[in-house]
């Protein structure tokens, strides 16, 4: 099949809309269920590239959760700890495959932003992954294949309308890519730049100890950034993006946004949050929203009289600002990546507040000396990759 007609483009008034192969060849994908739209396909094709490259770089099954052409989260498939099962709403007795763990962790990076996401899997989707997806609010999934059981599960989602796309894992795009903006055609070479450990050899700080886990996390950060709308900064821990700051005009705002998301992720592990007494039968999105508000400065919105009864069996104690600051201060071992150089040391200062111990960024600022000096002040290991990763 060479082309596929779409209901409309980015908005309902943008018609006609289609995807097609300009060389006359067949599309490298097959729609197995549903009717994906224009934005769905943008998410699907960007997210597939991310997980394919992440698997190639780390050797681990990889997954991503995309919203509006940027990842809300990405992760590799390591086994879930008991606390992860709890904060990601995984039943204690659920049998999980590595690719299921990868998606659960990718979605768990920022469950609020992943509401209504597009899922991408580097491996064929199995029943364990499909069963988890079935319980989440999601628009669709792309993978190199599906087991019969997984496809049967997914076809029951959204009253049979859930979008399921199979992608040819051997497909390689053309060297040149094109884009029309306001009637003007752009052309550039596709970004085939390979991100691997060879990129991490230029350590510019006094501390040069970069353990294997941090190298892996640098790869997760950089590959995630390669498919995130720029400017962008990504915080990673244990093979999982825990904060993505995308599309900001200022680098420090990227760093703050991603850092706040990383802090939110860590606050979900606070004992007071883990013990919140939710009412029976509460929906996952309602739990996610309640946790987000409870851990924020607007906590009174969920704890006020007449509101807390709707969510909790009993009124929880407030998670105070002092408790939040003390908890976040215990965070450590976080890796931060940036798609372009840090122009000032303030980015390092902000990253440190969220437990940053390792940084990967291109370098090349006229103030590199200041940035390195700030990293040295805290014993942070910083690698200059020499490669910008803008994506638009």
Active-site option among 33, 231, 238, 347: 231
Q: Which two tokens stand for residue 138?
A: 């999601």
Q: Are 161 and 140 in contact (CB under 8 A)?
A: no
- Positive or negative torsion for Cα 205, 206, 207, 208: positive
How many CA atoms lie within 13 Å of 55's alpha carbon, on the beta-carbon side? 23
Give the separation between CA 36 and CA 121, rounded to whole angstroms: 17
Q: Is the peptide bond before 262 cis (omega within 30 degrees of 0)?
A: no
Give the separation between CA 354 and CA 260, rounded to whole angstroms: 8
In degrees, rounded to 5, the angle at the alpha carbon of residue 387 between the alpha carbons of residues 386 and 389 is 150
Active-site option among 40, 55, 67, 237: 67
Strands (E), 130-239: 138-143, 163-167, 176-181, 184-189, 232-237
Write the burial class of residue 188 (CB in 10 Å: 0-12 exposed, 13-18 middle, 19+ buried): exposed
What are 19's strand-pairing partners?
4
**190 is an active site residue:** no
Looking at residue 135, the DSSP 8-state letter turns out to be T
Write the burial class of residue 254 (CB in 10 Å: 0-12 exposed, 13-18 middle, 19+ buried): buried
**67 is an active site residue:** yes
How many CA atoms lie within 13 Å of 324's alpha carbon, on the beta-carbon side? 17
- Residue 238, SS3 per DSSP: coil
What are 361's strand-pairing partners?
384
Given phi > 0 = left and psi -120 to 50 = alpha, else beta, which region is 331? beta
Q: Are 244 and 224 in contact (CB under 8 A)?
A: yes
**68 is an active site residue:** yes
Q: What phi, psi does 91 have (nearest 5°)?
A: -55, 140
> Catalytic residues, which ones?
67-68, 231, 392
């Amino acid at each position: 099949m060479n082309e596929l007609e779409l209901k409309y483009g980015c908005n309902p008034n943008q018609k006609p809309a289609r995807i097609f192969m300009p060389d006359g060849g067949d599309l490298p994908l097959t729609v197995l269920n549903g009717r994906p739209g224009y934005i769905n396909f943008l998410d699907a094709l960007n997210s597939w590239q991310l997980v394919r490259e992440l698997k190639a770089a780390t050797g681990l099954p990889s997954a991503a959760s995309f919203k509006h052409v940027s990842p809300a989260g990405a992760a590799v498939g390591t086994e879930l700890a008991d606390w992860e099962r709890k904060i990601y709403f995984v039943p204690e007795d659920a049998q999980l495959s590595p690719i299921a763990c990868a998606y659960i962790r990718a979605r768990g990076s920022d469950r609020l932003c992943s509401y209504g996401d597009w899922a991408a899997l580097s491996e064929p989707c199995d029943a364990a992954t499909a069963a988890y997806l079935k319980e989440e609010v999601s628009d669709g999934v792309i993978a190199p294949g599906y087991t019969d059981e997984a496809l049967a599960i997914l076809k029951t989602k959204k009253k049979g309308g859930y979008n399921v796309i199979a992608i040819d894992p051997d497909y390689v795009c053309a060297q040149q890519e094109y884009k029309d903006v306001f009637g003007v055609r752009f052309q550039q070479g596709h970004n085939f730049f390979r991100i691997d450990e060879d990129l991490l050899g230029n350590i510019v700080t006094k501390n040069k100890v970069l353990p294997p886990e941090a190298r892996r996390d640098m790869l997760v950060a950089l590959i995630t950034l390669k498919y995130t709308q720029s400017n962008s900064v990504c915080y990673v821990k244990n093979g999982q993006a825990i904060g993505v700051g995308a599309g900001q005009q200022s680098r420090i705002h990227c760093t703050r946004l991603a850092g706040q998301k990383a802090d939110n992720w860590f606050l979900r592990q606070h004992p007071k949050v883990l013990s919140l007494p939710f009412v029976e039968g509460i929906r996952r999105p309602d739990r996610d929203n309640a946790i987000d508000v409870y851990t924020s400065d607007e906590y009174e919105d969920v704890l006020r009289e007449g509101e807390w009864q709707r969510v909790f069996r009993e009124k929880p104690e407030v998670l105070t600002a002092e408790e939040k600051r003390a908890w976040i201060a215990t965070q450590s071992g976080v890796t931060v990546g940036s798609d372009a150089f840090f122009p000032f040391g303030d980015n390092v200062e902000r990253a440190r507040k969220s437990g940053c111990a390792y940084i990967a960024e291109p370098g090349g600022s006229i103030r590199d000396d200041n940035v390195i000096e700030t990293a040295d002040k805290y014993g942070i290991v910083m690698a200059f990759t020499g490669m910008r990763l803008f994506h638009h």
